Structure 1
Amino acid sequence: MVEKRQSRRAAVSGHKRELILDAAKQVFAAEGLEGASLRAIAVHAGYTPAALYFHFDSKEAIYAEVLKASLASLGAAVDQAVAQARTSAQRLKAAAMAFFRFYADNPRDLDLGFYLFRGGMKPAGLGHERDEVLNAALESALRPISEAASELGASRQKANLLMVDCFAHATGLLLLLHTGRIRMFGASASDLMEAYVKDRIAHLTEA
């Protein structure tokens, strides 16, 4: 009987937590980290602000959980794409393009990941420990790029630089895509990303 009650409480608590996170994702998407408030999240979730503190100690803690879930989905999308590739070159392309397409299809997730730029170009974060966890999750999602590059003969340093370069290239194109600026150039962000990855693979295989 006691175990059933504990199990029921845990299920209810877990459900409330998910409702809070779902509400928070919508509030953060609309207001950003700086503009959002615990009160707004609580109202959106149908709870009081005090109820939020039972599950999270701050809005930064909530934001970190929302972003962690987003990065987990990104990592799963990349892993699924890589698993279907047979060669190292195919794995590199699959990883880079899966990263790009995830954020092309989910602009709110991209916005979540770029909370640092809210309020101007200045250093920011969610706390050292949270930042370390989130940065590790992002690096894990990108790692298949460097691993495939290493398989193609790149040194560890060059493979890591290629991973960073792919990340920078993808985010630049995604920024142009989601702001509509890409239309100024009459170009396709997806086609440009694919051409870039193809060129990087050619450089590795020809070296």
Structure 2
Amino acid sequence: MTENRQSRREAVSERKRELILDAARQVFAEEGLDGASLRAIAVRAGYTPAALYFHFDSKEAMYAEVLQTSLESLGAEVGSAVSHASSPHQKLKAAAMSFFQFYAANPRDLDLGFYLFRGGMKPAGLGQDRDLRLNAALEAALHPIAEAAVELGASRQQGNLLMVDCFAHAAGLLLLLHTGRIRMFGASAPELMETYVDSRVEQLGQGLRHADN
């Protein structure tokens, strides 16, 4: 009986934690990290602000948890896309395009990931330990790009640089897409991303062929 009561208490606590995180995700999506308050999150979740502290010590801790979940979903989607590719070329393209497509389809996740830009272009973060953990999750989601480049014959450094380049290009196109600025140019963000990835793969192949000659 004691074990059953303990299990029920743990289940209730976990459910409460999930409700708080769901409310936090909604508030953060609407208000951003700076604009959100523990009181607003508590009201959305149906609890008192004091109740939140049984599960999280700050709104930054909640934000980190929400973003971690988002990055894990991103990594799973990229990993699934890569698992269906048969060649290094296809793996690289699948990884880069699935990364772009995840954020194209989930603009609120993109907002979560770019929390550093809330309040202007200035250094910010969620605390060193949280930032390191979240950066590692983002890098893990992008890592299949570098791995595929190495499979194609690139050095580790070249693969890592290509990974960064793909991330930067995707971020720029996603910004244009979600702000509607892409319409100014009569262009398609997905098509531009695909063209970019194809061109980088081709450049990588040409560079390696030149190195062999």
Category of TM-score, reference length = shorter chain: over 0.9
Q: Give how far 1:5 is off.
A: 0.8
Q: Could you say what the CA RMSD is over the residues aligned between the two structures, in angstroms?
A: 0.5
Q: Give runs of aligned pairs for residues 39-188 of structure 1, distance below 5 A.
A: 39-188=39-188
**What code does the residue aligned with 2:173 have?**
L
Equivalent pairs, count: 207
Gap regions ≥5 residues in structure 2: 208-213
User: How far apart are the structure 1 equivalents of 2:184 and 2:203?
Assistant: 29
Aligned position for 2:27:
27
Deviations 1:47-85 (A, max 9, x none): 000110000000000000000000000000000000000
Percent identity (aligned): 77
Task: Please give the TM-score of this superposition, normalised by the length of structure 2.
Answer: 0.96
Q: 2:121 is paired with a residue of what secondary structure?
A: coil
Deviations 1:98-124 (A, max 9, x none): 000000000000000001000000000
Q: 1:55 is paired with a residue of what secondary structure?
A: coil
Aligned position for 2:210:
none
User: How far apart are the structure 1 equivalents of 2:156 and 2:142?
Assistant: 14
User: How far apart are the structure 1 equivalents of 2:45 and 2:16?
Assistant: 9
Q: 2:56 is paired with a residue of what secondary structure?
A: coil
User: How far apart are the structure 1 equivalents of 2:127 and 2:193?
Assistant: 33
User: How far apart are the structure 2 equivalents of 1:6 and 1:61?
Assistant: 26
User: How far apart are the structure 1 equivalents of 2:16 and 2:130?
Assistant: 22
Gap regions ≥5 residues in structure 1: none
Q: Confirm whether residue 198 of structure 1 aligns to residue 198 of structure 2.
A: yes
Q: Give how far 1:206 is off.
A: 2.4
Q: Give how far 1:153 is off.
A: 1.0
**What code does the residue aligned with 2:102 have?**
F
Q: Give how far 1:177 is off.
A: 0.1
Runs of 4+ residues deviating >2 angstroms: none
User: How far apart are the structure 1 equivalents of 2:195 and 2:36?
Assistant: 39
